[in-house]
Amino acid sequence: MIEPGFIQDKVKMSLTVLPWIKYWFVIIILQLFTPLVSSASDYMRIGTSHFVFYFHSQDKRLMKSLIDDAEVLRREIVKDLGIDFKEKTKVYLAPSFKKYQEIQPGGEIPSWSAGVAYPSLNLIIIQSPRATKGKSIDLKKVFKHEFTHIALGRAFRGREKVPRWLNEGLAMYESREWDLSRVSTITRAVLTDSLIPLSKITHSFPLEADSAELAYSESFYLISFLISQYGKESFRRFIKEYSGGKGLKEVLMEVYGIKWEELEEEWRNYLKVRFSWLPIVTSTTTLWFLVTIAFILAYMRKKKATRLKFEQWEREDGNINDTDLKDR
C-alpha cells in the first residue's frame, strides 16, 4: 500500500528532474492511487520487523493474533522458497467489502476474493472476516496465501513472469488450504482422463468455474509432486535458478534432470497412483464389505472378551472354594 505522502514526494522530485511529458504520466499515477492514499489515514498502524499492518480499531483484537504470528509465518514461507527480501510488506485489513474495493490500487476485483497481493507494490489487502457474509475466513491462511504471492513475485521481479501453476500452486501449498471438494475434483479428472494440460495453465487459468477449480487443484498437486518426489532442497534450487533468469525447460533439466514433457508424464502417473483407488474405497460395495468385516471383528472381540470373563469367574470361584476348604 502506498503510505500517506509517498506519492506527493515522488511528484515533487519528478518535477525537478523529469521532462514535462513525464509530468503528465506522474499525474495519472497520482490519480490512480488517490482512493488508496486518501483512506490510509482511517487506519491504525502497527509495524514488525518485516511488516506494516493497517487496520480499523474494531479489528484490533482480530489482528493481534495475526501480527503476533506474522514473522513466524513469513519465515516458514521464505525458508521453503530459499529466497528472501528486505523491504517491509504492507498489509491492509479492510473493515468492509466497500472499503476493500475502494483501496484496491488496481481497480475492482471479484467479490468472492478474500485477499489480493500486489508483488510490485509489496502490498497485501485482505477483507476483514467480520465483513464477510455467508462464509468464514481463516485470516492466517489468507495471509500466508497472499504473502507467498508477494515473496514469489519479489523473487521473480524484473524477470520472466511467474507461471500461473507455480504462483497459485505454491500459495495453496504454503497456506494448507485444501478440502474434500478439491480432492473430488482432481479424482474425477484423473478417472475421466480430463486433466488440463500444464501448458494451458501456465499463462492463465480458465474462466469457467469448474475448469478454474480443476486448474487450482492441478497446480497444488504439481507443487506437491515436485516437493514430495524430489525434496525441498531441490525445490529451493529450482526457485533460485528459475527466478535468476534461466528458462523453465533449462532449469527443469538442470535441477530435476527431466524435460518438460517428462515432468508432465511423471506428474500424471503420480496422480493416477494417488487417486485411482479412491472410488474403490468409497464405492457402496466396498463400504458394505468393510461394514461386514468391522461387524465380524467386533463380534469376535466381544466373544473373546466374554470367554475371558467366564474364565476369570471360574478362577475366582476356584479360589473361593480353596479358601473355604482351608478355613474349615
pLDDT above 60 (res 10):
no
Q: Tens digits of per-residue pLDDT, 236-280? A: 999 999 998 889 999 999 999 999 999 999 999 999 988 876 554
Sign (positive/negative) of CA torsion 96, 91, 146, 36?
A: positive
- Percentage of the chain beyond pLDDT 70 is 70
Angle between helices 232-243 and 139-155 (to 10 degrees): 50
Instruction: Give tens-digit pLDDT for 57-103.
Output: 999 988 999 999 999 999 999 999 999 999 999 999 999 999 999 99
User: How would residue 214 be classed by pLDDT, with cut points 50, 70 and 90?
Assistant: very high
**Which of 69, 88, 126 has its CA nearest to residue 3?**
88
Q: Where are the domains of the chain?
A: 168-281, 283-316
26 pLDDT above the threshold of 70: no
Cα-flanking dihedrals φ and ψ of residue 102, to 5°? -65, -40
pLDDT at 20: 41
pTM here is 0.72
Written in H, E and C, the secondary structure of 299-322 is HHHHHHHHHHHHHHHHHHHHHHHH
Q: For 120-174, write each residue's pLDDT tens digit.
A: 999 999 999 887 765 678 899 999 999 999 999 999 986 768 899 999 999 999 9
Nine-digit cell at 27? 499525474
> What strands lie across the sheet with 89-94, from one edge to the other?
44-47, 51-55, 89-94, 123-127, 115-118
Q: How confident is the model at residue 27 (pLDDT cuts 50, 70, 90)?
A: very low
Q: What is the residue whose three cell numbers read 495475526? A: 66
Q: Is the confidence at residue 291, as pLDDT, over 60? A: no
CA distance 222 to 326: 78
- Amino acid 263 reads L
Residue 210's Cβ-count burial label (10 Å; 0-12, 13-18, 19+) is exposed
pLDDT of 232 over the 50 cut:
yes
Average pLDDT, the chain: 79
* pLDDT-wise least confident of 37-51, 113-127, 248-262, 300-314: 300-314
Res 224: pLDDT: 94
**138 within 8 A of 62, measured Cβ to Cβ:** no
What is the rounded average pLDDT of the residues 272-301? 61
Q: What is the mean pLDDT of residues 182-199?
A: 91
Cell triple for residue 35? 482512493
